[in-house]
Amino acid sequence: MSNKIEIRLVRPEDNDKLAQIIRQVLTEFNANLPGTPFTDAKTDSLYETFQAENSAYFVALSDRKLLGGCGILSLDHTLPQTCELQKMYLLPQARGLKIGYQLICNCLAFAKQKNFKQCYLATFPTMTSAHRLYKQMGFELLDKPLTKSCHNACHIWMLKQL
């Protein structure tokens, strides 16, 4: 992997590789379960999913090879000022290189530009490195989810004021 990392918006041709990366990472962390992105049909169509208003999905590449990505979507119509950080997954070789940090920064900058006031996320207990990164970036633990989700196997919920 080269030292040069490119971060750009998702493209239609990224869908298959991103779905593969997400499922690979979920399997690695024993989260390849129902109620996770592993079985979510949207995992196979991230480009289309993140064409919704006030949404964006950023991908990281090295030598034109996808390493992973992260996105922002409106959370729920009942919480119009809250967005959700979604589908933050990186291949093992891309971890510990501040790529996740860069992806999240892009997402949070986008969220602020769209006038969101807070950012929510739901994650898995086994992803402890990600938890540390989220906390370093100002996300705080919640006792319960802000809203119902099809990803009901996620048992860690966090919120950041923007």
- Look up the pTM and report it: 0.92
Q: Note the pLDDT of residue 79.
A: 83
**Which spans in the chain are helix H?**
15-28, 46-49, 99-113, 128-136
Q: Is the pLDDT of residue 84 over 80?
A: yes
Q: Note the pLDDT of residue 71.
A: 97
Element (H, E) at 6: strand 6-9
Residue 135 token pair:
């906390």
Q: Does domain 6-161 have CATH number 3.40.630.30?
A: yes
Q: What's the mean per-residue pLDDT of the chain?
A: 90
- Which of 30-44, 56-70, 85-99, 126-140 comes out lowest in average pLDDT? 30-44
d(CA 89, CA 70): 7
Query: Model confidence over 8-46: pLDDT tens digits?
Result: 999 999 999 999 999 999 899 888 877 778 888 889 999
Residue located via tokens 């499922």: 23
d(CA 133, CA 14): 25
d(CA 115, CA 118): 9
Query: Model confidence over 103-130: pLDDT tens digits?
Result: 999 999 999 999 999 999 988 887 888 8
Q: Which residues pair with 56 in a beta bridge?
A: 72
Q: Note the pLDDT of residue 146.
A: 76
Q: Where are the domains of the chain?
A: 6-161
Please give the span between the terminal C-alpha atoms of the chain, in angstroms, as a whole number: 33
